[in-house]
Amino acid sequence: MAVPDYQSLMLPLLKIAADRNEHNLSEVTETLAEQLNLSEEDRKELLPSGKQRRFDNRIHWARTYLAKSLLLSTPGRAKFCITDRGLQVLKNNPTHIDVKFLRQFPEFIEFNSLRSSSDSKINGDTTQEIVEKTNQTPQEILESGYLSLRQELAQEILEHIKNSTPKFFENLVVDLIVAMGYGGSRKDAGQAVGQAGDGGIDGIIKEDKLGLDAIYLQAKRWDSTVGRPVVQGFAGALIGKKARKGILVTTSNFSQQAIDYANGIDNLKIILIDGALLVQLMMDHDVGVTEESRYVIKKIDLDYFSE
């Protein structure tokens, strides 16, 4: 089954704490995963940032909301235990616990009002209202928004690249390679790329600043899918140069046969960079983009408050 939303995890989480013992989130995560029959793939599903598992994040927020309602207490980092109020709630045998259910507790109403007053609005709704409508945790909403903005930016970048001149594209590739730590200096890389024009090789760059090894480059603004013959021709050119490493860059994409061929060549490493990967690398290394806003999400440092 798919990973349940954070509200659906509130009641199961509270029931686990019904034994009055102190529990650890990591231990409970495994218990809940087994109770819900989650597959290994479900457990490993990540948030868009790739820094946290979605299931772990939703359990964290379920615990947070239960704690703000004083159904749980949090005696330490990633720890929790049930309160008398939490036990009383379970005695009433609720069929579910969600945000609507928690509104009966004044502490939760106060917490919710503080969140709503400090939240920015999106299309007239506060982040908290969006959380309740979508069943996404606040962090999921932020990351989904970030991912959406990144995808829109990627599409815009690729459109500009396709409308650029061959010379501009050549310089763009040089800028990216240098930003990633290859090619030596910008001057060295700029002089090397575009000078070969020989046997399918568009340029030769240094692998590092000392030039301990060379990387051969081919960069073309293709519109259609790049097939195996193009990759095979590039490989032949590399072999003719007795080269061991090459980078093939395109603004379009590679066929599966081309990818399989590049991955199956012995004693020759060819990296294929299609349009989608090209723009992702540009964004990651600040090539052709500029920072507009920065949002830093912080959490409490419990070690600071421990005596």
Domain spans of the chain?
10-149, 165-284
Instruction: Find how far residue 145's CA is from the centre of its chain.
Output: 12
Is the pLDDT reported for residue 293 higher than 80? no
Q: How far is CA 50 from CA 45, 55, 103, 144, in A?
A: 9, 13, 33, 12
Sign of dihedral through CA atoms 48, 50, 51, 57? positive
pLDDT single digits (tens) 85-139: 999 999 999 999 999 999 999 999 888 775 554 455 444 455 555 555 567 888 8
Q: Does residue 96 contact residue 66 with C-beta atoms inside 8 Å?
A: no
Please report how many Cα atoms fall inside a 13 Å half-sphere around the Cα of residue 16, on the Cβ side: 25
Place 274 in a pLDDT band, splitting at 50, 70 and 90.
Answer: very high
Domain 165-284, CATH homologous superfamily name and number: RNA polymerase, Rpb5, N-terminal domain (3.40.1340.10)
Please tell me the predicted confidence (pLDDT) of residue 142. 80
Which residues are CB-neighbours of 30 under 8 A, at least 6 positions away?
none
**pLDDT > 70 fraction of the chain, expressed in percent and rounded:** 86
Please tell me the predicted confidence (pLDDT) of residue 122. 46
Other CB atoms within 10 A of residue 256 CB: 10
Place 22 in a pLDDT band, splitting at 50, 70 and 90.
Answer: very high
Q: Provide the angle, in degrees to the nearest 10, between the axes of the packed helices 25-35 and 54-68.
A: 110
Please tell me the predicted confidence (pLDDT) of residue 118. 47
Retrieve residue 94's tokens.
């609720």
Q: How far is CA 62 from CA 41, 52, 125, 180, 305, in A?
A: 21, 16, 22, 40, 23
Residue with tokens 């939240």: 119
Which residues are CB-neighbours of 1 under 8 A, at least 6 positions away?
36, 37, 38, 42
Instruction: Find how far residue 260's CA is from the centre of its chain.
Output: 26
